[in-house]
Amino acid sequence: MLSNILGLVLLALIVKPSYAQVIVNCNPSSPQNAPDCRPFIAGFCEAKGAETVLPGNGIDGCAWNGNRTDFACLMYATNEARIPQIPTVEICLEVLTAIGNECHNGNAHVAGDSFIYVWGSQVGGCD
């Protein structure tokens, strides 16, 4: 019996949850020359993964290379739940990466997660 319990505990420690149900909606009007914002995803998710977000509110981030003629990368996470929530860093990373792999602008979420993630771009800096 003890070996069965230890086996289950070990299995629980090894198994990583999979968020395979990422639903991505690309924005068809996104500019063809929009930037690849994937290098900024980890910084956004790690910085925002400690913030409590009230229902209906969101957190945002912007990154750019300092050249006003280029695009800035915009990322948002909106809490769709009825209670305050903290975004999960792992889900944030997976969802924003999924958007980046499929399109330059769009939104996505994981089934069962309370946050909707948006990735967009704008000409110029982060004003």
Q: Is residue 1 part of a domain?
A: no
Could you please report the per-residue DSSP string of 6-67?
Answer: HHHHHHHHHPPP----EEEEE-TT--TT----GGGHHHHHHHHTT--B-TT-EEEEEE--S-
Q: pTM of the prediction?
A: 0.76
At 102 the pLDDT is 85
Q: Is residue 116 part of a domain?
A: yes
Arithmetic mean of pLDDT, 72-83: 92
User: How many domains are there within the chain?
Assistant: 1
Q: Is residue 12 part of a domain?
A: no
In angstroms and rounded to an integer, the radius of gyration of the C-alpha atoms of the chain is 17
Q: Is residue 93 part of a domain?
A: yes
Q: Is residue 33 part of a domain?
A: yes
Q: Is residue 41 part of a domain?
A: yes
Q: Is residue 6 part of a domain?
A: no
For 62, the domain range is 19-123
Helix (H) or strand (E) holding 106: strand 106-110
Residue 103 is part of a domain; what is its CATH number? 3.30.430
Quickly state the pLDDT bin for 100 (edges 50, 70, 90). Answer: confident
Q: Is residue 71 part of a domain?
A: yes
